[in-house]
């Protein structure tokens, strides 16, 4: 075995700690999408778009903010599928400049706190189909669990 100086072992420990800190923490893969979403809070309705989606959440772009102090309801129109209804909580909030910066959108990272088993299954199948499609390099991969939505 070799001998290491104190500074070498501290440097190695620091490097290992940095790798642990930057390790991805996502449990579910994200899928880039552009799907319409309706956000409801206290009777107010805000139309927006979903920029990415996972089994447990989404990143949503909105032109105006809903009431963030209340529970938010989301109606998500997934291409070739039914509308999914979820209740979500905001886990991150960003103001994103658009174009030359004179306008902006609000970006909300949402965690799905309440979603039906059927809608979760639909999201799971959509994500699997997307992963298969990107891996195979083709546009349409039949997915048996998306009853009535596979293209033949």
Domains and CATH numbers, the chain: 31-116 (2.40.10.220)
* Separation of first and last alpha carbons in the chain: 63
Give per-residue pLDDT as tens, 47-86: 999 999 888 999 999 999 888 877 899 998 876 777 899 9
More confident residue, 57 or 140: 57
Q: Per the structure block, which two tokens stand in for 51?
A: 């920029």
More confident residue, 46 or 101: 46
Most distant pair of Cα atoms in the chain: their distance: 69
Q: Minimal CA–CA distance to 133: which of 27, 51, 31, 58?
A: 31
- What per-residue confidence (pLDDT) applies to 29? 67
Residue 110 has pLDDT above 60, yes or no: yes
């Amino acid at each position: 075995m070799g001998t290491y100086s104190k500074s070498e072992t501290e440097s190695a420990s620091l490097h290992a700690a940095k790798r642990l800190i930057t390790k991805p923490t996502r449990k579910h893969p994200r899928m880039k999408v552009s799907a319409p979403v309706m956000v409801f809070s206290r009777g107010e309705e805000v139309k927006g778009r979903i920029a990415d989606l996972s089994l447990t959440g989404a990143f949503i772009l909105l032109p105006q903010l809903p009431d963030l102090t209340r529970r938010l309801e989301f109606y998500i129109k997934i291409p070739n599928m039914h509308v999914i209804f979820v209740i979500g909580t905001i886990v991150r909030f960003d103001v994103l400049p658009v174009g030359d910066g004179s306008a902006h959108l609000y970006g909300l990272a949402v965690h799905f706190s309440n979603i039906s088993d059927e809608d979760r299954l639909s999201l799971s199948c959509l994500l699997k189909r997307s992963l298969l499609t990107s891996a195979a390099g083709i546009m349409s991969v039949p997915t048996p669990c998306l009853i009535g939505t596979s293209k033949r």
